[in-house]
């Protein structure tokens, strides 16, 4: 490569670096302006997963219906339906003040409750765990959440993390091209990057 080609190449690299910075700033501004945007996006993605597999995720409507179904099944003393037996074997309703929560059926009365979370509540639950673990990675969040919740999936955690601006910034490492021209690259790279 001759000198002029090299300069042209560097110009392209520099302008794409600046473009990326502008894009990141725009995304951050957007997140500040519309804090619920990610939540809606997240919810929509979970519903897409739910369309394919209904094993773990529970829409709010199903969650409420399951609680009603459980209460009905518990009242049918002699003639329980097949569905009644199924829900009673799988779930329990826990009264928390005014709120009824769906939990995993406990085998022992002193067992710690494992809460089911509806798709609509998942974002908040993960957000709390993510903040509580100091922007914890997937494994730390899994550890934190599996002690209390029955149906938070690893995919949901991964998705959540991909939306977190703080985590995304942390993960982004400057691309080392061998020649350092860009003043925004911090000092720690100068020692390695500088060419005589």
Cβ-contact 119, 50 below 8 angstroms: yes
Instruction: Report d(CA 37, CA 89) in Å as an integer.
Output: 38
CB of 139 to Zn ion, least distance (A): 14
- Tell me the sheet residues that pair with 99: 96
- What x/- string results for residues 59 through 98 when contact with Zn ion is judged by CB under 5 A? ----------------------------------------
Cβ-contact 93, 100 below 8 angstroms: yes
Q: Considering beta carbons, is residue 166 or 179 the nearer one to Zn ion?
A: 166
Q: Considering beta carbons, is residue 92 or 161 the nearer one to Zn ion?
A: 161
Q: Considering beta carbons, is residue 66 or 122 the nearer one to Zn ion?
A: 122
Q: Considering beta carbons, is residue 117 or 126 the nearer one to Zn ion?
A: 126
CB of 187 to Zn ion, least distance (A): 26
Site for Zn ion in 112-171 (CB under 5 A): 135, 164, 166-167
Instruction: Report d(CA 66, CA 54) in Å as an integer.
Output: 14
CB of 131 to Zn ion, least distance (A): 8
Burial class (CB in 10 A: 0-12, 13-18, 19+), 129: buried
Going by C-beta distance under 8 Å and a sequence separation of 6 or more, which residues neighbour residue 182?
Answer: 13, 14, 17
Q: Considering beta carbons, is residue 13 or 165 the nearer one to Zn ion?
A: 165
CB of 176 to Zn ion, least distance (A): 25
CB of 57 to Zn ion, least distance (A): 22
Q: How many CA atoms lie within 13 A of 125 on its CB side?
A: 22
Size of the site for Zn ion (CB under 5 A): 4
**Residue with token string 């739910």:** 50
List interacting residues with Zn ion (CB under 5 A): 135, 164, 166-167
């Amino acid at each position: 490569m001759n000198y002029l080609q090299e300069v042209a190449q560097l110009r392209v690299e520099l302008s794409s670096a600046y473009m990326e910075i502008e894009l990141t700033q725009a995304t951050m501004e957007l997140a500040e302006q519309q804090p619920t945007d990610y939540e809606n996006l997240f919810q929509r993605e979970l519903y897409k997963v739910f369309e394919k597999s209904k094993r773990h995720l529970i829409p709010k409507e199903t969650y409420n219906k399951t609680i009603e179904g459980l209460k009905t099944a518990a009242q049918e003393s002699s003639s329980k339906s097949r569905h009644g037996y199924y829900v009673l074997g799988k779930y329990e309703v826990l009264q928390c003040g005014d709120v009824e929560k769906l939990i995993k059926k406990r085998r022992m009365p002193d067992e710690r409750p494992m809460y089911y979370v509806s798709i609509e509540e998942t974002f908040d639950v993960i957000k709390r765990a993510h903040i509580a673990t100091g922007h914890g990675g997937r494994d730390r969040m899994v550890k934190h959440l599996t002690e209390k919740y029955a149906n938070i999936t690893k995919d949901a955690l991964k998705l959540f993390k991909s939306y977190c601006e703080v985590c995304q910034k942390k993960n982004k490492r400057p691309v080392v091209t061998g020649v350092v021209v860009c003043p925004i690259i911090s000092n720690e790279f100068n020692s390695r990057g500088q060419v005589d």
